[in-house]
């Protein structure tokens, strides 16, 4: 294989640039030309690409976002457009593709492999919800951003003796809420994977009050419910007044942490090796700190599982 492509797709994640850099540099190391495909699958369909040389990925390892831009592309659901994209790639001599993104992006890659186009997936999403890897690129940065925000909110919460509800991202997964809640010492964490008990939340708040603790931090994952709904319920149920902060897209930005840069470098480089070994329909991941690869099709049958032991621990530590 002498020429490959790389694209980023779905929600951007800090560390995507570090992964692009790794793909380009590793490709060049092995004498392979790497083309950046712009705007995700949209650019794939339209053949929007540019040769990325060594210098073009200089100075991006520390930058959040994605140099290649990203998109969510409904057209890609149609086979005719996928075939059009493959045609564009073949005309340009591109024989394989590295897809950096979440499980939605992986589904697109699977469809391409069914049409005979070689693809390797690299997991990148702040949600950490790609099955088959302990961590996705961007998750560590996102939880650090969230923890910094919670620390700031805690200052004002203690000063005014308020209860704060902080809504974090995680459409289907509670990982951001779990990890940041534990790291920031939140009193209550609500995630989509576990049922919540309003009576227990109220009791916990009251218990805090009875030992002269006048403020509380509740973290709620967006996939469980909106912060506003919980605020209404607490008010209705027990007359508890709360303040709300929805962190939103601030969680997707920022300079990637060292952990995310290292992860992105390792996974991006391994993805290039796999293409060069003639492999296709594989995804790279990390398990117990070791890089490995698995069949992309596994994501169709396996579901990401948040580490529920963190949920239990978080409850135990905030009695
Ligand atoms: O990338 C995943 C994610 O951050 C989710 O947690 C969130 O629900 C979603 O993206 C928001 O996406 P958009 O910016 O397209 O609204």
Residue 306 in any domain: the answer is: no
Distance 79 CA to ligand 1 centre (A): 25
Q: Taking 90 as the threshold, does the pLDDT of residue 275 lie above it?
A: yes
CB neighbour burial string for 28-48, b if at least 16 within 10 angstroms, e if fewer = beeebbbbbbbbbbbbbbbbb
Residue 315 in any domain: the answer is: no
Residues 84 and 202 in one domain: no
Q: Is 127 marked active-site?
A: yes
Instruction: Please choose from 127, 223, 253, 254 the residue to mutate so as to test ligand 1's pocket, defined by most ligand atoms within 8 A of CB.
Output: 127
Residue 310 in any domain: the answer is: no
Q: Taking 90 as the threshold, does the pLDDT of residue 184 lie above it?
A: yes
CATH number of the domain that residue 174 is part of:
3.40.50.460
Residue 123 in any domain: the answer is: yes
DSSP string, 31-81: T-EEEEETTHHHHHHHT-EEEE-GGGGTT-TT--S-TT-----GGGGSHHH
Rounded distance between C-alpha atoms, residue 201 and residue 18, angstroms? 41
Which of 214, 231, 252 terminates a domain? The answer is: 252
Residue 312 in any domain: the answer is: no
Residue 319 in any domain: the answer is: no
CATH number of the domain that residue 52 is part of:
3.40.50.450
pLDDT at res. 99: 98
Q: Is the CB of 131 under 6 A from ligand 1?
A: no
* C-alpha closest to that of 293 among 285, 304, 301: 285
Index of the ligand 1 atom closest to the CA of residue 222: 8
pLDDT at res. 98: 98
Residues 128 and 244 in one domain: no
Cβ atoms within 10 Å, residue 192: 19
Mean pLDDT over residues 18-40, rounded?
98
Q: Tally the domains of the chain.
A: 2
pTM across the whole model: 0.97
Residues 130 and 277 in one domain: yes
Say which of 12, 127, 129, 175 is annotated catalytic: 127
Residue 311 in any domain: the answer is: no
Residues 128 and 9 in one domain: yes
Question: C-alpha distances in angstroms, 91 versus 48, 78, 88, 94, 102?
Answer: 12, 20, 5, 8, 28
pLDDT at res. 133: 97
Q: Is the CB of 257 under 6 A from ligand 1?
A: no
Could you list the residue range(s) of the whole structural domain that residue 125 is in? 3-138+256-301
Distance 11 CA to ligand 1 centre (A): 6
Residues 21 and 123 in one domain: yes
Distance 159 CA to ligand 1 centre (A): 32
SS3 211: coil
Q: Is the CB of 126 under 6 A from ligand 1?
A: yes
Task: For 127-167, write each residue's pLDDT tens digit.
Answer: 999 999 999 999 999 999 999 999 999 999 989 989 999 99
Query: At 2, is the pLDDT very low, low, confident or very high (cuts 50, 70, 90)?
Result: very high
Rounded distance between C-alpha atoms, residue 86 and residue 154, angstroms? 51
User: Between vectors from CA 124 to CA 123 and to CA 129, what angle results, nearest 5°?
Assistant: 75
Residues 61 and 102 in one domain: yes
CA 256: distance to chain centroid? 12
Residues 217 and 207 in one domain: yes
- Written as six digits, the tokens of 89 are 């790639």
Residue 51 in any domain: the answer is: yes
Instruction: Please choose from 72, 167, 168, 169 the residue to mutate so as to test ligand 1's pocket, defined by most ligand atoms within 8 A of CB.
Output: 169
Residues 10 and 90 in one domain: yes
Residues 120 and 200 in one domain: no
Question: ipTM of this model?
Answer: 0.96
Task: For 101-138, write each residue's pLDDT tens digit.
Answer: 999 999 999 999 999 999 999 999 999 999 999 999 99
Compute, in degrees rounded to 10, the torsion defined by CA atoms 220, 222, 227, 228: -160
Residues 51 and 91 in one domain: yes
Residues 126 and 35 in one domain: yes
For atom 11 of ligand 1, which residue has the closest CA?
11
For 183, phi and psi rounded to 5 degrees? -70, -30
Distance 169 CA to ligand 1 centre (A): 7
Which of 221, 252, 283 terminates a domain? The answer is: 252
**Sign of the dihedral through C-alpha 222, 72, 283, 295:** positive
Residues 10 and 126 in one domain: yes
């Amino acid at each position: 294989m002498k020429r490959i492509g790389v694209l980023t797709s779905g929600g951007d994640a800090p560390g995507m640039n570090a992964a692009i850099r790794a793909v380009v540099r590793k490709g060049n190391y092995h004498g392979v030309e790497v083309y950046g495909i712009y705007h995700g699958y949209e650019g794939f369909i339209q053949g929007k690409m540019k040769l990325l040389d060594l210098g073009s990925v200089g100075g991006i390892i520390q930058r959040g976002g994605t140099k290649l831009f990203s998109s969510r592309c409904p057209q890609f659901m149609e086979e005719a457009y996928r075939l059009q994209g493959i045609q564009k790639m073949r005309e340009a001599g591109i024989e394989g593709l590295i897809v950096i993104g979440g499980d939605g992006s992986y589904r697109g890659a699977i469809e391409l492999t069914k049409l005979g186009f070689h693809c390797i997936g690299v997991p990148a999403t702040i949600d950490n919800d790609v099955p088959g890897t302990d961590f996705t690129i961007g998750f560590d940065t996102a939880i650090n951003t969230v923890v910094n925000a919670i620390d700031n909110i805690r200052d004002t919460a203690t000063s005014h003796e308020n209860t704060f509800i902080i809504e974090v991202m995680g459409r289907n997964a509670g990982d951001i809420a779990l990890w940041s809640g534990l790291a920031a010492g939140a009193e209550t964490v609500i995630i989509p994977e576990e049922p919540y008990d309003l009576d227990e939340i109220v009791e916990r708040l009251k218990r805090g009050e009875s030992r002269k603790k006048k403020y509380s931090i509740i973290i709620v994952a967006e996939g469980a419910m909106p912060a506003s709904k919980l605020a209404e319920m607490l008010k209705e149920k027990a007359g508890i007044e709360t303040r709300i902060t929805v962190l939103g897209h601030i969680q997707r930005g920022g300079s990637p942490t060292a952990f995310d840069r290292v992860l992105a470098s390792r996974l991006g480089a391994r993805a290039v090796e796999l293409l060069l070994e003639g492999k296709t329909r594989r995804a790279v991941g990390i398990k117990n700190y070791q890089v490995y690869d698995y069949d992309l099709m596994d994501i169709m049958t396996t579901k990401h599982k948040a580490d529920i032991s963190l949920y239990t621990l978080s409850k135990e530590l905030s009695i």
